[in-house]
C-alpha cells in the first residue's frame, strides 16, 4: 500500500489522543492531521514530542465549518471521525448535540466527497443499540441482533442518525470518480487514564472522604480500555485501505469490547481505584424500579417548569437505564473481519489506569495540604 495520510477529528479528546499515539507507528503514514475545536496546550506539547517520521499537523477548527473541513480533508486518504458531544445527563442544549454529532458528520462526509477521501471510519457508540429498558438483558450481544435505541434523547438519537448517514454513504462516488468506503465502530463504555468521566468520579470521591458515587450498581457490562478501542480504529483504517479485506468491512458496524471482566460500573470504578483507599458507598439505595420512576417524575417536573424555569434533574430515565442494565457485547465480528485482538490485557489496563488515579490522589493531597498551611 502506497504512502497515505489520515485526518483524526476530536483529536484532543480522550480517544482521539490515543488513536494519534498509535497511528504514528503505522508504516507509510506520511501525515496525520489532528483536528479539534480547541486543543489544551499540554496536548499540543504531547503531539510535538511524538517520536515519529510521520508529520503531525495540529488544526483548530469547528466541525460545522464546511470550508475548514474541506481544507482539512484536502490530500487525505483516511478520515477517523471521533469528534462528538457526549452528554447523557441532559446538560447541553439538544440543538448543540444534534448540530455537532449529526450535522457535523454530514458536513464531514460532504467534505470527503469533495476532497476525494476514500476511507471514512466513524466512532459510534454502544448507545445506538440501547439499552431501551433496564429489564432488557443482553449478555453476549452481536451485530446480527440488529438492536436499535428507541430513545429520543439527543445523544443516542444523534449518534444513531450519524451512524446511519455514514453507513449509507458507503459506495458513493467521489468528485474524481473514485468510491467512498465507510464503516462504524461501536465501543463499549471506554475507560483508562485521562478519562474525564473517571476523573470526575475520582475527584468526587476524594471530596467525599474516599466514597465513590454510585453510578450503576445494578449493571452488568463489559467496558473497553481506551488503548484497545484505539487499536480497533487503526485496524479499521488498515482494513478499508486493503483491497483484500475492504469488501467485507465496507458499510459495516462493529462492537468493540475487550477482555475486561463483565461487571457493574460501580465495581469497575472500585477495581480501578481501591489501591488508593477509595471505596464503594455501602449506604442504602433506592430499588431500581423506584429509582427509574423518580427519574421519570423529575423529568416531568422539568418539562412542566420549562416555560418559566430551566430545571435540570440530577438524573433522567435514559441515564438510569444506561447505567443499570445488563448490556454486554462480543467482539467476534471485529476479530473475524478486522483481525482485532485486544492489545492490552485487563490486568495491564487496570494497572495503567490505577497508576493514573494515584497521581490524582497525590495531587489532591498536595492541594489540601497547601490550603491548610
Active site residues: 159
Q: What is the DSSP annotation of 199-219? A: HHHHHHHHTTTTEEPPS-TT-
Alpha-carbon gap, residue 18 to 220, rounded angstroms? 26
Chain CA centroid to CA 153, Å? 17
| Beta-carbon count within 10 A of 298 CB | 17
Helices (H), the chain: 14-23, 41-48, 66-73, 94-98, 104-115, 154-168, 196-206, 226-241, 246-249, 265-273, 288-305, 317-323, 332-338, 346-372
154: nearest Cα among 208, 84, 204: 84
CB distance 125 to 105 below 8 Å? no
Amino acid at each position: 500500500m502506497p504512502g497515505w495520510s489520515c485526518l483524526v477529528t476530536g483529536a484532543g479528546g480522550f480517544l482521539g489522543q490515543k488513536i494519534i499515539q498509535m497511528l504514528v507507528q503505522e508504516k507509510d503514514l506520511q501525515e496525520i492531521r489532528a483536528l479539534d475545536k480547541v486543543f489544551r496546550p499540554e496536548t499540543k506539547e504531547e503531539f510535538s514530542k511524538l517520536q515519529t517520521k510521520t508529520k503531525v499537523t495540529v488544526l483548530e477548527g469547528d466541525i460545522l465549518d464546511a470550508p475548514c473541513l474541506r481544507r482539512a480533508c484536502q490530500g487525505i486518504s483516511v478520515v477517523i471521525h471521533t469528534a462528538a458531544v457526549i452528554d447523557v445527563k441532559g446538560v447541553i442544549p439538544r440543538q448543540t448535540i444534534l448540530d455537532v454529532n449529526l450535522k457535523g458528520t454530514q458536513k464531514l462526509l460532504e467534505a470527503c466527497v469533495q476532497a476525494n477521501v476514500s476511507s471514512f471510519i466513524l466512532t459510534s457508540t454502544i448507545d445506538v443499540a440501547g439499552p431501551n429498558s433496564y429489564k432488557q438483558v443482553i449478555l453476549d450481544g452481536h451485530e446480527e441482533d440488529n438492536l436499535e435505541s428507541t430513545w429520543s434523547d439527543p445523544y443516542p438519537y444523534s449518534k444513531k442518525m450519524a451512524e446511519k448517514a455514514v453507513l449509507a454513504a458507503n459506495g458513493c462516488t467521489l468528485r474524481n470518480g473514485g468510491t467512498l468506503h465507510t464503516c462504524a465502530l461501536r465501543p463499549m463504555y471506554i475507560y483508562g487514564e485521562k478519562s474525564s468521566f473517571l476523573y470526575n468520579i475520582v475527584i468526587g470521591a476524594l471530596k467525599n472522604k474516599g466514597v465513590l458515587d454510585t453510578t450503576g450498581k445494578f449493571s452488568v457490562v463489559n467496558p473497553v480500555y481506551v488503548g484497545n478501542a484505539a487499536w480497533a480504529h487503526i485496524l479499521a483504517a488498515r482494513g478499508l485501505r486493503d483491497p483484500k479485506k475492504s469488501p467485507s468491512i465496507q458499510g459495516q458496524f462493529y462492537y468493540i469490547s475487550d477482555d475486561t471482566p463483565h461487571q457493574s460500573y460501580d465495581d469497575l470504578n472500585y477495581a480501578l481505584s481501591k489501591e488508593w483507599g477509595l471505596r464503594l458507598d455501602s449506604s442504602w439505595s433506592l430499588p431500581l424500579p423506584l429509582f427509574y420512576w423518580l427519574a421519570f417524575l423529575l423529568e416531568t417536573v422539568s418539562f412542566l417548569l420549562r416555560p418559566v424555569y430551566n430545571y435540570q434533574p440530577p438524573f433522567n430515565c435514559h441515564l438510569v437505564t444506561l447505567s443499570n442494565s445488563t448490556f454486554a457485547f462480543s467482539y467476534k465480528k471485529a476479530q473475524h473481519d478486522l483481525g482485532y485482538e485486544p492489545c492490552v490485557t485487563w490486568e495491564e489496563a487496570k494497572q495503567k489506569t490505577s497508576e493514573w488515579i494515584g497521581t490524582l490522589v497525590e495531587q489532591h493531597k498536595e492541594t489540601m495540604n497547601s490550603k491548610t498551611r
